Amino acid sequence: MSRILICATQVPFVRGGAEYLVESLRDELQRRGHTVDVVALPFQWHPVERIIDSALAWRLLDISHVNGEPVDLVIATKFPSYLIRHARKVLWLVHQHRQAYDWYGTPLSDFDGSPSHRAVREQIFRIDSRALNECQARFTISHNVSRRLERFNGLSSTPLYPPSRYAGKLWAGDYGDYILSPARLDRAKRIDLLLAALAQTASPVRAIIAGTGPDRERLQRLAADYGLGDRVSFRGFVPDDELIDLYAHARAVYYAPVDEDYGFATVEAFGAARPVITTDDAGGVLEFVRHGENGLVSPPDPAAIAGHLDQLTGDVALAARLGRAGRPLVDGITWDRVIGALLGGNRR
């Protein structure tokens, strides 16, 4: 059995898919008899000039030995945790610092194009290329993340899908009268598109929005401005058992983020045999969702999404057929496969 450290970047007070991935990986490795712990450092991205300080903190750590005993393997996840030094460093990349990469020049990026920000961006590119080249193996959580790594850094990698933390717990109930949105409330998840679409539906379909995040107040104002009233319920943080139940009885799941890395919501929707309503620019979501086969895909346009909401609201048999078709796609996403690849650790 091995002594393994998982390196994770933690934004204080924020929990999401990356945090759940790290915790699940830790637990699954421990179940297989390994000695495992998580090394997490806080990440400061504002002001932009502080980003390099966060990266340097990882570079200065020495975790080759702990309490006089060697660490056999380090698994790095997202920026800047993969700057850690170790003789056997394996990457399972959640994402790089997207504000400096594919989000650069968009409203989602904190980089303003000034000389100082351009200098930080160039430095991130340099340190990323060096640190990522040190890895004995490079895996990513999706083909989408692998494509970005190839596009920006010229580095190859192997996609390795992570299971949901609800794997084995999701179940399929009846197809209820609501659309479930289980995403974090920030602009990149585009829940505002769902609200705009609800305002244009012919049917009185309602939505349950489960999640917390910095965009909540703006989204609640939008819902009020659209006059949606009790057609939208903001549930905030939802305990696991309640969220599993919400999946089980939803008519469909809405998940249409901007060029998502992976998207646990998609995998969880299919695990509960729910169809997914998404958009043609949703990134990793489209590695699973096929229009008319297991979900409905449209441009990121409220009217088009409204049409899909009406379509599924008016045809429960269609929702059931699409939802059942998605389930086999996620059956092969297992922790045995993930851990076998990470511990094998020589593929790029």
Residue 61's DSSP bridge partners are none
Residues 259-268 have a mean pLDDT of 96
User: Do the beta carbons of residue 227 and residue 200 sit within 8 Å?
Assistant: no
Token couple for 230? 């009790």
Residue 42, C-beta contacts closer than 8 angstroms, at least 6 positions apart: 10, 11, 12, 54
DSSP summary character for residue 2: -
Name the percent of the chain lying above pLDDT 90: 90
Q: Given this model, what pLDDT does residue 345 score?
A: 57
DSSP, residue by residue, 64-126: SEETTEE--EEEE-STTGGG-B-SSEEEEES---GGGTTTTTSTT-S----HHHHHHHHHHHH
Pure H helices in 185-334: 191-198, 216-225, 240-249, 264-271, 302-313, 316-331
Q: Given this model, what pLDDT does residue 191 score?
A: 98
DSSP summary character for residue 62: B
Name the percent of the chain lying above pLDDT 70: 99
The residue to which tokens 């919501």 are assigned: 265
| Residue 305 predicted with pLDDT over 80 | yes
How many distinct helices (H) and strands (E) make up the chain? 11, 14
Comparison of pLDDT for 68 and 300, the residue scoring more: 300
User: Do the beta carbons of residue 247 and residue 165 sit within 8 Å?
Assistant: no
Q: Rounded CA gap, 299 and 8, in Å?
A: 34
Q: Given this model, what pLDDT does residue 226 score?
A: 98
Q: Rounded CA gap, 203 and 113, in Å?
A: 44
Q: Given this model, what pLDDT does residue 18 score?
A: 84
Pairing mode, strands 65-66 and 69-70: antiparallel
Comparison of pLDDT for 103 and 18, the residue scoring more: 103
18-67 pLDDT per residue, tens: 888 999 999 999 999 999 999 999 887 789 989 999 899 999 999 999 98
Q: Given this model, what pLDDT does residue 10 score?
A: 81
Q: Which amino acid is at 152?
A: F
Burial of 91-122, coded b for 16+ CB within 10 Å and e otherwise, reads bbbbbbbbbbbbbbeeeebebeeeeebeebbe
172-196 pLDDT per residue, tens: 999 999 999 999 999 999 999 999 9
Q: Given this model, what pLDDT does residue 155 score?
A: 96
Sequence length of the chain is 348
Cis ω for the linkage preceding 12 (within 30 of 0)? no
| Residue 221 predicted with pLDDT over 90 | yes
Residue 62's DSSP bridge partners are 85
Q: Rounded CA gap, 176 and 246, in Å?
A: 9
Q: Rounded CA gap, 102 and 109, in Å?
A: 9
| Residue 347 predicted with pLDDT over 70 | no
Q: Rounded CA gap, 127 and 248, in Å?
A: 44
Positive or negative, the CA dihedral 299, 302, 305, 310 is negative
Q: Given this model, what pLDDT does residue 346 score?
A: 52
Q: Given this model, what pLDDT does residue 215 score?
A: 96
Q: Which amino acid is at 57?
A: A
User: Do the beta carbons of residue 189 and residue 285 sit within 8 Å?
Assistant: no
Mean of the per-residue pLDDT values of the chain = 95
197-218 pLDDT per residue, tens: 999 999 999 999 999 999 999 9
Residue 256, C-beta contacts closer than 8 angstroms, at least 6 positions apart: 189, 190, 193, 194, 277, 278, 279, 282, 285, 300, 305
pLDDT band of 13, cuts 50, 70, 90: confident
Q: Given this model, what pLDDT does residue 111 score?
A: 94
pLDDT band of 334, cuts 50, 70, 90: very high
pTM confidence score: 0.93
Q: Given this model, what pLDDT does residue 1 score?
A: 86
Structural domains in the chain, sorted by start: 3-163+333-344 (3.40.50.2000), 178-331 (3.40.50.2000)
Q: Given this model, what pLDDT does residue 177 score?
A: 96
